[in-house]
Amino acid sequence: MNLQRFFNPRSIAVVGVSDNERKVGHLVAKNMLKQGYPDNLFFVHPSGKNMLGKETYTSLKEISKPIDLVVLAIPASIAVPYLDEVASVGCRNVVMFAAGFGETHTAEGKGLEKQLRDKLAEHEITLLGPNCIGYINANKGINATFFNHVAPKGNISIISQSGALGSAFLDYVAAKTYIGLSHFISLGNKSALDESDCLEYLINDSATKVIGMYLEDVKDGDRFRRTLRQATQKKPVVVLKSGRTTEGSKAAMSHTGSMAGDDAIFEAAIRQGGALRAESYAEFEMILKLYSLDAVPTNRNILVLSNAGGMGVLLADELISQGLNLVTVSEETSLKLAKAFEDTKKISVHNPIDLLGDASAFDYKKAINLTMQEKDIGAIVVLLTPQANTEILETAQVLQQVYRSFKYKPLYPVFMGKDSVSEAHTYLEKEGIASFRYFAQLPAALSKIIAADEAAHAPFLEISPPDYSLPLQFHKHDIQLLFVEQGNTSTFLNQYDSLSLLSWAGIDVAKTYLAVSQEDLDTVVKEEGFPLVAKIASSKITHKTEVKGVITGITVMEELQQAFHTLSSVGSKDSGCYLQKMYKGHELIVGSKKDTTFGTVVLIGLGGVYAELLKETIELVYPFSYEQFRLALHNSKLQRLTKEFRNIPPIDAQKLYDVGMRVGQIVDTLEQVQEIDINPLIASGNTMIAVDGRIILQQK
Amino acid sequence: MNLQRFFNPRSIAVVGVSDNERKVGHLVAKNMLKQGYPDNLFFVHPSGKNMLGKETYTSLKEISKPIDLVVLAIPASIAVPYLDEVASVGCRNVVMFAAGFGETHTAEGKGLEKQLRDKLAEHEITLLGPNCIGYINANKGINATFFNHVAPKGNISIISQSGALGSAFLDYVAAKTYIGLSHFISLGNKSALDESDCLEYLINDSATKVIGMYLEDVKDGDRFRRTLRQATQKKPVVVLKSGRTTEGSKAAMSHTGSMAGDDAIFEAAIRQGGALRAESYAEFEMILKLYSLDAVPTNRNILVLSNAGGMGVLLADELISQGLNLVTVSEETSLKLAKAFEDTKKISVHNPIDLLGDASAFDYKKAINLTMQEKDIGAIVVLLTPQANTEILETAQVLQQVYRSFKYKPLYPVFMGKDSVSEAHTYLEKEGIASFRYFAQLPAALSKIIAADEAAHAPFLEISPPDYSLPLQFHKHDIQLLFVEQGNTSTFLNQYDSLSLLSWAGIDVAKTYLAVSQEDLDTVVKEEGFPLVAKIASSKITHKTEVKGVITGITVMEELQQAFHTLSSVGSKDSGCYLQKMYKGHELIVGSKKDTTFGTVVLIGLGGVYAELLKETIELVYPFSYEQFRLALHNSKLQRLTKEFRNIPPIDAQKLYDVGMRVGQIVDTLEQVQEIDINPLIASGNTMIAVDGRIILQQK
């Protein structure tokens, strides 16, 4: 969809202009004038009388010039039929503010929404809204919103499902923060234009350097993820999403189903798209500011310089706990630093560098000039507290000079306090330096920026590569038969069939024997030896360990016989039991499920009895590249298992990726499959054996 | 130590007053004058010339009146001998700013520190500092610091190991925030007065409503914890401590040793003392402000009221993830709310209550008057974003009226944005209402305040109760023998002895048989039956599962024989193996160790092979009350195990407390014991059996 004309119209008509200062029709008209839309702005109102000092037309038809965009500031009931008039003058782009549609959850509202959609289809109209606040394209002088402010021009674009967020953000940038807006787009009900459409448009908007999105839901998960990926190849995208704590209420039948909540999946999609998720509105604002000012760390190595030792250590704590590194100052620089101060005082030359409470602007200058030359520093945070003789503004000026002379190498002044540091803060912001009053949220922001950059550069998979194509016979015959055999009453495949399916998909499974006699026991021991595991063979019992359905560590025949009798009597009569060789390794859980928004998702986590308690898992939207998997693994405690742990050889990440992709592929390919759990997958080195599997079928 | 006179002197002499505006001696003199110390303020300088418009004495002796406090603004080398003069005029209270003592880590500095301590002892002088910024008692007109500001009077007292933190805080409160200081006390080198002394003094200072402490270390952990407890029985204490990420580097020989890091122990001490730990300086400031203004939630049930649906949901996410509850609005109130708005619009009457973007001040008033009447609401957060017709200041006024008429029931206005909401923000602060621009850190702060209140009200144990007294023979004979037998080379007791010791301390242990023959195997089977566990009997091998030293799930004789032969051959020749009954339950780890700062500490956590990976643990300083243990358990995932989980009966918290206390008692009582690990303790219902234990001996 090409929205170039929609967001860059050569002419705009505002319909429903009003003299009443509290009316939307007045506010929009005023904003358009104040924002400075150059020419071809037309006001429409049936009265035809001049408003806001400008000629007003009684109808669109009266306007002689072609109209690129119509902004409808009229109530829902008249706005919908008015689309006929819009179409009649040849305009196809509309912004509609009116509420009272589907969002009311009333029969009336839903009826109106249906009428609206019909009209849009009939006239091929592109609509923003309804129930929205409109949009701003500040650099083009367009402010088709009923906000309180003219938007300062800048390079931040925001797409928001909340108008209120826009009003708070606009209030923030309007307050002499020296950052500004390119676009603000209020999505409203998304009856036509949605988040992906607008995101796609902003990718090629040259005035936009960073994109912020506030979302409550996503219309088309797959498209959103792909569009996000396209966008993040060109510019950063910061997403703020509500609903972090509200999990899907649908009862899950597998561990995967219950552990891979809606929000974790959304987060996976964001991450794979190379975007960054802000945790709060405050963080959203801070990160947009950092990107807008190009204040982006080049790596995780951070240096701290301060005139307050304790504060420096507090900041260091925060940096480390956010996964950043306190860079070690090179010996050369340490010596130079010590030398530079030897005549006056003994400073701490280790990171955090403490220039002591009496640090002058010149002290800061000496120290920062030396440390800026260090090669592997990703950013420098300069802490200042207003002490007795602190040269606050002079220090700010020093920082500005250094920042320029070192070609904008990232530098974050954190001048703490309030009134004393206020002037310096304003000065720094005016000079385009991202300056802060507290460091509390900065380390998290920097860490997320670096992680998003890594994610955006990891290869992205749109389709599953050939390695993971299910074998042909899998499709055509056996599996179909398997499903048919289950009949309509079964909700899942029994363990034997589940493992067979996993095996056909190329996953190593523990050979499972159904033993019903002593002869069978002898055969298994002959083929597999000891130790063995015996499992109940009833298809009715799923969480096996909860019904004492598994006996592990069987090492001799007598014990095997005992296990056989115990389990056979618990299970269906004469059903016998399953036998498998017992494997040694880490107990992992690998699962997949169909998500209504994002399609197939894969979960990999620590298994065992405490799996659901500890939720040490990673989620990925299928398909995913090996690098994306590696990044997700890296941020989880599972990473530790890729080194030797408790006498088990390091697990092979490539092999684990392979298992995850194959499990995902089954769910993605077979419409009959809703969820899969392999629990546990016994992993040791590059040997990964599914010893128990459960395949949940799609319920009709 | 009675510090009443020290912090409330009837007369003060400042020694080293200067005309040079950059000198400490000038700044202190100026601050004393500006803060308005009433009479009996004397300046001393050898020149005897008037300074800052005031008579100056050439020496202390020249002053005819008795001096309660001497403030020394002179260099270290002359300050130390000057103490003779101080003593000679009968003064025993000194503030010393000079640096150059032990903190320099030089021989010269250490020598000076020694001289200082000798002088203090000789003259029985109470000293604040050296290397400090002094102290403020704002309400008494004392500002014996070299800060930049006069301190606004108020009810917050701060004890700080960083002077810079004080300068930032003072700058904050001085900027018309309408909160202020009672005391600021800079600890410096703590050569005499330390954090516990100052804390003790503030407990009974009636002007102090809340105490904030910034600490880098603690002089006497045990005293600090007790003093903290005394303080929190009267007023809240907020602690900010650096070093969160720097763990003790000493190599640990047990799981407990490696998992219970210095910071976790410090945190336990704070919590048991009933204090609150702030995570960052920003949070420290926010929480002090909340307490200062009495803006404390009465319980965890929070109501959100907003004119911005999306923001409301974001806040709700944050509240829930911080362990607070989104209170359910009663049906009665919901109906009243719906009715109150039925003529104008359809608002969402569920929490978060959305008054929609056009909410007027009157709308806020209607909604808040109704919801304030709800009984079980702990606090109301009122969100406002500056939208088109938002009545910002009027809404603030409404809130102030409601706040008063509902007798200061907690109410937090969060007016988002910048310039538009600035006036309302100032108005609210002036009216004594804790008002915010972002909600980002508020939920965490509220949650911590409630948790600290619970902790302060939980019983506190100073000594271990009689239930946990070790039996007499334990002290006198057997154990001493045990340690003697180990000789000087052993670093730990073998499993058999470790379990014996645990058993003597009243902990149930798995009966452990040392089997060296078939006859032994027969005996064990006869006494314990199956299933059994066999373990290697070598004292050299400690992390048993890592060397394949444990065989579990032995259910028949043949298997037992196999296990016996396997383990006997791995262990010392002819040593046989240990045998135990196999228990079913949760695998927990319970340990204890001696901490250099806080004494005996106890750790309880999830055991098993991933214990160190997942670190799902709680730490407690010994002794601890059952309620303190319950609170710690409640904040951990272990809490889940007190309900049925994976077919294992709910573990009995009282019994687990009992095990923890007994383990702590062993470490606390026996000087020979450095660390204890029970790993695992098999817990099911109120049956808790130590099946493996390791006791690490104190190294000489």
Q: Report residue B348 as tokens.
A: 């969402």
Q: Cβ distance B308 to B357 under 8 Å?
A: yes
Q: Determine the pLDDT at residue B534.
A: 93
- Tens-digit pLDDT profile for residues A311-369: 999 999 999 999 999 999 999 999 999 999 988 888 888 899 999 988 999 999 999 99
Q: Cβ distance A269 to A623 under 8 Å?
A: no
Q: What is the DSSP string of A417-438?
A: SSHHHHHHHHHHHHTT---BS-
Beta-carbon contacts of residue B479 (< 8 Å; ≥ 6 apart): B501, B504, B670
End-to-end CA distance of chain B: 36
Q: Cβ distance B135 to B145 under 8 Å?
A: yes
B599: left (phi over 0), alpha (psi -120 to 50) or beta: left
Question: In the predicted model, is pLDDT for residue A608 greater than 90?
Answer: no
Chain A residues touching residue B244 (CB < 8 angstroms): 317, 321
Q: Determine the pLDDT at residue B105.
A: 84
Q: CA-CA distance, A459 to A452, in Å (whole number)?
A: 13
**Mean pLDDT of the region B397-414:** 91
B613 CB near a chain A CB, below 8 Å?
A: yes
Which of the pair, B387 or A472, is modelled with greater confidence?
B387
Strands (E), A330-489: 353-354, 379-384, 411-415
Question: In the predicted model, is pLDDT for residue A573 greater than 60?
Answer: no
Q: CA-CA distance, B125 to B119, in Å (whole number)?
A: 8
Q: Report residue B70 as tokens.
A: 């001497």
Q: Determine the pLDDT at residue B297.
A: 95
A685 CB near a chain B CB, below 8 Å?
A: no
Q: CA-CA distance, B344 to B358, in Å (whole number)?
A: 11
Question: In the predicted model, is pLDDT for residue A626 greater than 90?
Answer: yes
Q: Determine the pLDDT at residue B484.
A: 58
Q: Cβ distance B259 to B617 under 8 Å?
A: yes
Question: In the predicted model, is pLDDT for residue B365 greater than 60?
Answer: yes
CB contact under 8 A, A556 and B551: no
Q: Cβ distance B571 to B538 under 8 Å?
A: yes
Which of the pair, A700 or B73, is modelled with greater confidence?
B73
Beta-carbon contacts of residue B576 (< 8 Å; ≥ 6 apart): B514, B515, B516, B517, B520, B537, B564, B567, B568
**Mean pLDDT of the region B533-540:** 77
Diameter of chain A by CA atoms? 101
Confidence of residue B496 (pLDDT cuts 50, 70, 90): confident
Question: In the predicted model, is pLDDT for residue B542 greater than 70?
Answer: no
A318 CB near a chain B CB, below 8 Å?
A: yes
- Grouping H, G, I as helix, E, B as strand and the rest as coil, residue A159 is strand
CB contact under 8 A, B387 and A147: yes
Instruction: Report the DSSP pairing between strands A276-278 and A181-186.
Output: unpaired
Please name the residue of chain A whose CA is at the shortest distance from the CA of residue B246.
A317
Which ranges in A373-418 belong to alpha helices (H)?
392-405
**Mean pLDDT of the region B415-419:** 92
DSSP summary character for residue B51: B
Q: What is the CA B210 to chain-centroid distance, rounded?
A: 15
Beta-carbon contacts of residue B250 (< 8 Å; ≥ 6 apart): none
Confidence of residue B608 (pLDDT cuts 50, 70, 90): confident
CB contact under 8 A, A244 and B440: no
Burial of B487 (0-12, 13-18, 19+ CB in 10 A): exposed
Interface mutation vs chain A, best among B416, B643, B651, most A CBs within 10 Å: B416
Question: In the predicted model, is pLDDT for residue A543 greater than 70?
Answer: no
Q: What is the pTM of this model?
A: 0.93
Bridge-partner residues for B127, per DSSP? B94
Q: Determine the pLDDT at residue A572.
A: 56
A1 CB near a chain B CB, below 8 Å?
A: no
Please name the residue of chain B whose CA is at the shortest distance from the CA of residue A391.
B22
- Tens-digit pLDDT profile for residues A223-277: 999 999 999 999 999 999 988 776 444 455 677 777 778 899 999 999 999 999 9
Q: Cβ distance B327 to B376 under 8 Å?
A: yes
Q: CA-CA distance, B630 to B457, in Å (whole number)?
A: 13
Q: Determine the pLDDT at residue A464.
A: 87
- Tens-digit pLDDT profile for residues A164-189: 999 999 999 988 889 999 999 999 99
**Mean pLDDT of the region B225-243:** 95
- Tens-digit pLDDT profile for residues A514-530: 899 999 999 999 999 99
- Grouping H, G, I as helix, E, B as strand and the rest as coil, residue B590 is strand
**Mean pLDDT of the region B324-332:** 92
Query: What Rg do the C-alpha atoms of chain B give, in angstroms?
Result: 31
Confidence of residue B248 (pLDDT cuts 50, 70, 90): very low
Q: Cβ distance A387 to A419 under 8 Å?
A: no
Other beta carbons less than 10 A from residue B457's beta carbon = 13
Which ranges in A204-294 belong to alpha helices (H)?
221-232, 255-259, 262-272, 281-292
Q: Report residue A436 as tokens.
A: 């802060």
Amino acid at B481: L
Q: Report residue B612 as tokens.
A: 């160190």
- The least confident of A65-79, A682-696, B565-579 is B565-579
**Mean pLDDT of the region A643-657:** 93
Q: Determine the pLDDT at residue A248.
A: 44
In this structure, what are the phi and psi dihedrals at residue B509, rounded to the nearest 5 degrees? -125, 155
Nearest alpha carbon to residue A385 among A420, A353, A361: A420
Confidence of residue B70 (pLDDT cuts 50, 70, 90): very high
Other beta carbons less than 10 A from residue B480's beta carbon = 13
- Grouping H, G, I as helix, E, B as strand and the rest as coil, residue B580 is strand
Confidence of residue B426 (pLDDT cuts 50, 70, 90): very high
Closest CA of chain B from A485, distance in Å: 31
Average pLDDT score, chain B = 91
Which ranges in A507-555 belong to alpha helices (H)?
518-528
Q: Cβ distance A595 to A601 under 8 Å?
A: yes
Q: Report residue A143 as tokens.
A: 């402010």
Bridge-partner residues for A414, per DSSP? A383, A436
Beta-carbon contacts of residue A674 (< 8 Å; ≥ 6 apart): A253, A593, A594, A667, A696, A697, A698, A699
The 3 state secondary structure assigned to B649-691 is CCCCHHHHHHHHHHHHHHHHHCCCEEEEEEEEEEEECCEEEEC
Q: Determine the pLDDT at residue A548.
A: 65
CB contact under 8 A, B313 and A439: no
Query: What Rg do the C-alpha atoms of chain A give, in angstroms?
Result: 31
Closest CA of chain A from B321, distance in Å: 7
Please name the residue of chain A whose CA is at the shortest distance from the CA of residue B609.
A646
Q: Determine the pLDDT at residue A72.
A: 98
**Mean pLDDT of the region A668-690:** 94
Nearest alpha carbon to residue A667 among A254, A188, A91, A107: A254
**Mean pLDDT of the region A23-35:** 96
Please name the residue of chain B whose CA is at the shortest distance from the CA of residue A146.
B388
Question: In the predicted model, is pLDDT for residue A490 greater than 90?
Answer: no
Please name the residue of chain B whose CA is at the shortest distance from the CA of residue A306.
B164
Nearest alpha carbon to residue A604 among A622, A585, A619: A619
CB contact under 8 A, B556 and A548: no
Q: Number of Cβ pairs closer than 8 Å across A and B?
A: 260
DSSP summary character for residue A348: B
Question: In the predicted model, is pLDDT for residue A542 greater than 70?
Answer: no
- Grouping H, G, I as helix, E, B as strand and the rest as coil, residue B480 is helix
Q: Using N-to-C axis directions, what is the helix angle for A309-321 and A442-457, rounded to 10°? A: 30
- Helix, strand, coil % in chain B, rounded to nearest 5: 40, 20, 40
Q: Determine the pLDDT at residue B536.
A: 85
Q: What is the DSSP string of B291-347?
A: HHTT---SSSEEEEEES-HHHHHHHHHHHHHTT-EEPPPPHHHHHHHHHHHTTT---
Closest partner residue to A419 (CB to CB) among B160, B174, B552 is: B174
Nearest alpha carbon to residue A418 among B172, B429, B176: B172
Q: What is the DSSP string of A278-329?
A: ESSHHHHHHHHHHHHTT---SSSEEEEEES-HHHHHHHHHHHHHTT-EEPPP
A150 CB near a chain B CB, below 8 Å?
A: no
Confidence of residue B374 (pLDDT cuts 50, 70, 90): confident
Q: Determine the pLDDT at residue A342.
A: 87
Q: Determine the pLDDT at residue B472.
A: 56
Please name the residue of chain B whose CA is at the shortest distance from the CA of residue A311.
B165
Which of the pair, B88 or A486, is modelled with greater confidence?
B88
Q: Report residue A448 as tokens.
A: 């997320």
Q: What is the DSSP string of A633-650?
A: HHTSGGGGGGS-BTTBPP
Q: Determine the pLDDT at residue B451.
A: 95
Burial of B234 (0-12, 13-18, 19+ CB in 10 A): middle
Tell me what percent of the residues of chain B surpass a pLDDT of 90. 74
